[in-house]
Chains A and B, each alone.
Chain A
Amino acid sequence: QLQLQESGPGLVKPSETLSLTCTVSGGSISSSRYYWGWIRQPPGKGLEWIGSLYYSGSTYYNPSLKSRVTISLDTSKNQFSLKVSSVTAADTAVYYCARSQSDYDYFSYWGQGTRVTVSS
């Protein structure tokens, strides 16, 4: 059974870089059948797609965040990562990693999410 698990600091200071990792078990991140994505949910609010990447390393991002976001792959560890630079309080959210089908970006599998608070 596929499992995704987010990890990373729960508290980040304003203007610093938020860094999260998603560890995938029960399946290979190197499969050509899937994309791997990040979605976030501010407290009490809805869902926002951040970006996704393919096993080849190709990425696509939400333009609203593109200038600050990097998603990368570590196939040796079966992990992918998210970095958001220059964070503000508006980046406070639960961050989810998820898997979508190749070419069809609905998300079939989700991690449990990790809460990140931006505060000094």
Chain B
Amino acid sequence: DILMIQSPDSLAVSLGERATINCKSSQSVLYSSNNKNYLAWYQQKPGQPPKLLFSWAFTRESGVPDRFSGSGSGTDFTLTISSLQAEDVAVYYCQQYYSSPYTFGQGTKLEI
């Protein structure tokens, strides 16, 4: 199984400041034949299901504000919120879909 480790486990950021969440996979999730990283990011607010933010490491879903960005390749990935808003308080998860079983990071709790 591919192990996904996020850091930090929790993060407190002031409104308007930058938030950075890291995700590291135990093996590369870059598929060489298409040069795509099989890595997704989700946001989960209390009492709600996860919401897909990014697929392919940095392809933003429709409706996701552009203050959110995804980056990285291979085994190291980053989710960045450029200017934190109150509605961004949530737990964020990365997920690899490179190989079954599909695995998630343990989550990063983002607070103000």
The interface of chain A, by Cβ under 8 A from chain B, is: 46-49, 60, 62-64, 96, 98, 100, 104-108, 110-113
Contact = CB atoms under 8 A, between A and B. Distances in A.
Query: How big is the B interface, by class?
Result: 20 to 34
Nearest to A110: B49
A53 B67 CA distance: 35
* Most chain A CB inside 10 Å of its own CB: which residue of B38, B50, B103: B50
Contacts of A105: 97, 100, 102
A106 B54 CA distance: 9
B97 A47 contact: no
B106 A46 contact: yes
Interface of B: 38, 40, 42, 48-52, 55, 61, 93, 95, 97, 100-107
Contacts of B42: 47, 107
B101 A63 contact: yes
A46 B104 CA distance: 8
Contacts of A62: 100-101
Contacts of A106: 38, 40, 52, 55, 95, 97
A49 B50 contact: no
Nearest to A96: B49
Nearest to A48: B104
Contacts of B93: 46-47
Contacts of A111: 49
7 contacts: A49-B101, A49-B104, A96-B50, A104-B38, A106-B95, A108-B61, A112-B48
Contacts of B49: 96, 98, 110-113
Nearest to A111: B49
Contact of B103 (A49, A107, A108, A113): A49
